[in-house]
Amino acid sequence: MSPGGFFAYENQWATVEAFQFHRQIGKKRVADRILDLNGQLKEGLSRMSHVTLHTPLNRDLSAGFVCFEVNGLSPKEVVSRLREKAVIASSTPYGKSYARFSAGIVNTPAEMDRALSLIRAMA
């Protein structure tokens, strides 16, 4: 649903092609790509002293989300600062909120490096 409660028809119209694309490249390749990119994020964040990583480093214990905290900043502040630099992140909608990334198959390792660089600059 898009803001205002209307269906995002462009997403619905692309569903068939998206499933065909996933089948064409293979589920394992899709999963491996997502795990690799999110692994890059987890490894990079885990090395920053001003960041607390909440997602396990073990790829068998996590998948498409990387949750973390930046010392001295709320999750909304982290997300806002990233968005100002054209990097998309979100915050978890739970009682205890964390900033989070979710790399997908369309992302690149260079984009992960850029996101990590921006988090590093928040020290």
| pLDDT tens-digit series, residues 34-85 | 999 999 999 999 999 999 999 999 989 988 899 999 999 999 999 999 999 9
Task: Provide, rounded to the nearest whole percent, the portion of the chain with pLDDT above 90.
Answer: 80
Q: In the prediction, which pLDDT does 30 show?
A: 92
What are the two backbone dihedrals, phi and then psi, of residue 111, each rounded to the nearest 5 degrees? -65, -35
Report how far apart, in Å, the C-alpha atoms of 37 and of each of 22, 60, 70, 80 are: 17, 14, 20, 22
Architecture of 30-120 per CATH? Alpha-Beta Complex (3.90)
Query: Model pTM?
Result: 0.86
Average model confidence (pLDDT) for the chain?
93
> Could you give the CA distance from residue 112 to residue 34 in angstroms, rounded to a whole number?
12
Burial 38-53 (b: 16+ CB within 10 A, else e): bbbbbebbeebeebeb
